[in-house]
């Protein structure tokens, strides 16, 4: 059986009507649920800077990989080049990925006999899941992750279910290419590839391991090329967000507790995922359970057991990873891929089991009417099991229409913002200003307060620039930009203001490239990312070093702390120096391979900037000396650095 093979069903018209219905439902949900997160505008600013000739940069004068999803960014660039409206570009790419996901999913299971019920129930679960629907837009890479992970699962199980491999070279190359695309979409998707990779190497291709490695490496080569580009251009294999979110002051117990809260809250806000995971665990142990409590023989083949175990193991690895890193602040964002892996593997399990048993699925489940639980006969459930798929679908419909936070409610009511233990319902937070629905009504992300703040600053800059000379950043490279008004080239004054903030996405994009943003969370700042951070999951604030803002403004020529000034010089070598200098590559070697890329020594900081952040609000009535001592203890006298 080859899952990747396809055929045109006889009743093509019925299938087309069904697909059109699914596309219609998806489109309605997409229209009402679509939104763009503040984080997505971090990537959007890089796209905008690239199209305007500044390269893959956040602040035009720094080479920093602020994005975690290169493939998503590279797909956005040509779309934005044509569309010229970043919100619509992101929606178009997300919508296309969602439509392809539905088509591929339906097309795959149409190969099996009597799987229409599985398809309907599966998509019903997807459409009822806030995690799946919310992050099928958001401007982030999730819809692309969903699609590519589905394609990888299809290819893997296709190879696993075939005893003979007809074309090792092509199959190995496809596996490698899908792996590369997943890693280019998001590096931590590698967690879903660990167990399948083990099975591929030690079992499926055990007699052709050399060929498998050789041709799968050819497939992975695009990712290798990007890594080479990344180390040369940015000075690091890993994105800046890695350093910003791992160089933090978190004890092991605090990380585990925060990670547990993230998983718990995400599941609490999207309980249908609990049902899916619970069903998965039940079928894994269904043999002994049914044998213990019933008189029916429920025998699973080795392959059927392994299908469930491999996917459950992959999901477990991801959940342990979330515990280990302390979770995140976006509720559900990292559970959508787990949901897809679980549902897909259960559907493959059911389709394979009932096809191999040469029984109709409905007839097989009808036999459960003969089960006895504690000698209680369920023979009167005959009709219930006969219409098992219809029953499940009705249950899902009830959930879809009645659950207070179901995606269906997006069509007619505003979702209240929920925050619990640092975990946030991000869609509810940004939907009012960044949704497709409101965009059509004239309310764009540009109306968000953070966007308006940046636009106001940018407007002030343009007024001041008429009477100012270009004396700022004269030591740095000069960039040129074409003036649309006069169709000539003129010198662009790079930075007219330096602003410090913790919300860089919307402000960064709508403020334009002329504002240099200092991100206290370190996500877009190559220097601050390597200083210790502390705060909520995904938001770890840095203490702004004295003299750092003044140095960028060229008011001062060095930082007061000599040790920190030397470290800052090394960071500038990575992000601002010419690419091929000997000094720069010495720092790359030192930071990347010798573990000297983070600064952990005490340094003087600007207390005022900390007070201006969300983290400083609780200490508004504290004396400066008391708060300073508290921060010194927390940031520099702690040995619990992650």
Q: Which of 191, 235, 190, 153 is nearest to 583 (CA)?
A: 235
Residues 6+ apart with CB under 8 A from 438: 431, 432, 444
Residue burial 149-180, b: 16+ Cβ < 10 Å; e: rest: bbbbbbbbbbbbeeeebeebeebbbbbbbbbb
- Express each pLDDT in 424-464 by its tens digit: 999 999 999 999 988 888 899 999 999 999 999 887 766 56
Residue pair 360/114 in contact by the 8 Å Cβ criterion: yes
Q: Specify the length of the chain in residues.
A: 642
The values of phi and psi at residue 303, to 5°, are -65, -40
Closest listed residue to residue 298, CA positions, set 367, 373, 392, 374? 367
Is residue 378 scored above 70 in pLDDT?
A: no
- Residues 358-362, mean pLDDT to the nearest whole number: 39
Residue 365's contacts (CB-CB under 8 Å, 6 or more residues apart) are 385, 386, 388
**pLDDT of 166 strictly over 90:** no
Are 238 and 599 in contact, with CB atoms under 8 Å apart?
A: no
Pick the more confident residue, 412 or 480. Answer: 412
d(CA 408, CA 128): 8
Residues in Cβ contact with 197 at an 8 Å cutoff, skipping those fewer than 6 apart:
none
Residue-level pLDDT at 79: 98
Q: What is the mean pLDDT of residues 9-26?
A: 78
Q: Where are the alpha helices (DSSP H) in 56-141?
A: 70-83, 86-109, 116-128, 130-134
C-alpha distances in Å from residue 213, one per residue of 176, 220, 310: 9, 10, 21
Alpha-carbon distances of 614 from 503, 505, 520, rounded to whole Å: 10, 16, 11
* 582 Cβ contact partners less than 8 Å away, ≥ 6 residues apart: none
pLDDT band at 471 (very low <50, low <70, confident <90, very high): very low
Instruction: Indicate if the pLDDT at residue 258 is higher than 60.
Output: yes
Least confident of 138-142, 199-203, 456-460: 456-460
| CB-based contact 259:326 (threshold 8 Å) | yes
Number of Cβ within a 10 Å radius of residue 11: 10
Instruction: Name the β-bridge partners of 499.
Output: 517
Picking from 183, 191, 268, the residue whose alpha carbon sits closest to that of residue 226 is 183
pLDDT at 341: 98
Q: What is the per-residue pLDDT for 370?
A: 40
- The DSSP element (H or E) to which 515 belongs, if any, is strand 515-519
pLDDT tier at 479, thresholds 50, 70, 90: very low
pLDDT exceeds cutoff 80 at 356 = no
On the 0-12 / 13-18 / 19+ scale of CB atoms within 10 A, 424 is buried
**Residue 254: what pLDDT?**
92
DSSP letter string over 408-455? Answer: GGGGTSPPPP-EETTEE-HHHHHHHHH-HHHHHTT--GGGSHHHHHHH
Collect all residues with Cβ–Cβ distance below 8 Å to 269 and sequence separation of at least 6: 130, 331, 332, 405, 418, 425
CA quadruple 526, 530, 535, 541: dihedral sign: negative
Whether 485 has a pLDDT exceeding 50, the answer reads: no
Contact at 8 Å (CB) between 76 and 70? no
Q: Please state the rounded mean pLDDT for residues 304-313.
A: 95
Query: Mean pLDDT throughout 174-189?
Result: 97
Helical (H) or strand (E) element with 482: strand 480-483
Structure confidence at residue 3 as a pLDDT band (50, 70, 90):
low
SS3 225: helix
Lowest mean pLDDT among 463-472, 544-553, 559-568: 463-472
Average pLDDT on 466-494 reads 38
Cα–Cα distance measured from residue 622 to residue 619, given in angstroms and rounded to the nearest whole number: 5
Instruction: Name the phi and psi angles at 189, rounded to 5.
Output: -65, -10
Phi, psi of 208 (to 5 degrees): -130, 40
Q: d(Cα 237, Cα 474) in Å, to the nearest integer?
A: 30
- Whole-number Å distance between alpha carbons of 279 and 342: 9
Report residue 17: phi and psi, to 5°: -60, -40
What is the model's pLDDT at position 13?
Answer: 65
Contact (Cβ atoms closer than 8 angstroms) between residue 343 and residue 311: no
Q: Are 356 and 161 in contact (CB under 8 A)?
A: no
Nearest alpha carbon to residue 545 among 529, 559, 530: 559
pLDDT for 28-40, tens place per residue?
Answer: 999 999 999 999 9
Tell me the C-alpha distance between 44 and 80, whole Å. Answer: 9
């Amino acid at each position: 059986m080859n899952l990747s093979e396809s055929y045109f069903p006889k009743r093509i018209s019925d299938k087309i009507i069904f697909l059109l219905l699914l596309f219609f439902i998806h489109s309605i949900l997409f229209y009402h649920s679509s939104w763009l997160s503040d984080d997505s505008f971090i990537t959007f600013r890089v796209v905008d800077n690239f199209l305007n000739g500044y390269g893959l940069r956040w602040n035009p004068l720094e080479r920093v990989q602020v994005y975690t999803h290169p493939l998503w960014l590279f797909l956005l660039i040509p779309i934005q080049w044509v569309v010229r409206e970043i919100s619509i570009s992101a929606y178009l790419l997300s919508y296309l990925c969602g439509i392809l996901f539905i088509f591929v999913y339906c097309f795959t299971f149409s190969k099996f006999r009597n799987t229409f019920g599985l398809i309907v129930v599966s998509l019903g679960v997807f459409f009822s899941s806030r995690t799946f629907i919310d992050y099928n837009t958001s401007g982030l890479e999730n819809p692309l992750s969903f699609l590519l992970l589905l394609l990888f699962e299809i290819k893997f199980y296709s190879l696993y279910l075939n005893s003979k491999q007809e074309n090792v070279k092509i199959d190995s190359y496809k596996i490698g290419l899908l792996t590369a695309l997943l890693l280019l979409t998001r590096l931590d998707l590698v967690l879903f590839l660990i167990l399948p990779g083990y099975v591929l190497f030690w079992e499926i291709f055990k007699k052709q391991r050399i060929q498998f490695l050789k041709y799968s490496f050819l497939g992975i080569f695009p990712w290798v090329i990007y890594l080479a580009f990344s180390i040369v251009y940015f000075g690091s294999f890993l994105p800046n967000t890695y350093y910003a979110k791992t160089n933090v002051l978190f004890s092991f117990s605090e990380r585990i507790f925060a990670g547990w809260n993230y998983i718990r809250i995400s599941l609490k806000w999207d309980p249908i995922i609990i049902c899916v995971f619970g069903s998965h665990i039940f079928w894994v142990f269904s043999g002994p359970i049914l044998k213990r409590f019933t008189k029916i023989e429920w025998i699973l083949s080795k392959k059927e057991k392994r299908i469930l175990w491999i996917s459950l193991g992959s999901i477990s690895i991801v959940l342990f990873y979330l515990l280990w890193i302390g979770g995140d602040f976006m509720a559900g964002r990292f559970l959508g891929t787990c949901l897809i892996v679980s549902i897909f593997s259960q559907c493959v399990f059911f389709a394979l089991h009932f096809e191999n048993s040469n029984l109709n699925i409905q007839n097989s489940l009808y036999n459960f009417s003969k089960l006895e639980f504690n000698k209680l006969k369920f023979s009167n459930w005959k009709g219930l099991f006969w219409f098992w798929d219809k029953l499940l679908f009705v249950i899902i419909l009830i959930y879809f229409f009645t659950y207070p936070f179901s995606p269906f409610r997006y069509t007619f009511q505003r979702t209240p913002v929920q925050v619990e233990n640092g975990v946030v319902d991000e869609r509810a937070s940004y939907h009012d200003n960044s949704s497709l629905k409101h965009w059509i009504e004239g309310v764009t992300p540009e109306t968000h307060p953070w966007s308006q703040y940046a636009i106001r600053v940018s407007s002030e800059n343009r007024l001041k620039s008429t009477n100012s000379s270009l004396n700022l950043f004269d030591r740095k490279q000069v960039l040129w930009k074409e003036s649309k008004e006069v169709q000539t080239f003129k010198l662009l004054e790079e930075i007219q203001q330096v602003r410090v903030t913790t919300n860089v996405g919307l402000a960064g994009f709508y403020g334009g490239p002329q504002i240099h943003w200092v991100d206290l969370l370190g996500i877009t700042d190559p220097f601050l990312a390597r200083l210790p951070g502390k705060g909520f999951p995904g938001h770890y604030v840095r203490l702004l070093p004295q003299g750092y803002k003044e140095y960028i403004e060229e008011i001062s020529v060095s930082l007061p702390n000599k040790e920190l000034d030397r470290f800052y010089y090394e960071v500038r070598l990575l992000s601002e120096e010419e690419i091929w200098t000997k000094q720069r590559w010495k720092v790359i070697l030192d930071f990347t391979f010798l573990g000297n890329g983070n600064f952990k020594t005490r340094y003087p900081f600007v207390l005022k900037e900390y007070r201006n952040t969300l983290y400083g609000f609780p200490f508004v009535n504290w004396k400066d000396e008391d708060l300073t001592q508290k921060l010194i203890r927390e940031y520099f006298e702690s040995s619990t650095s992650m």
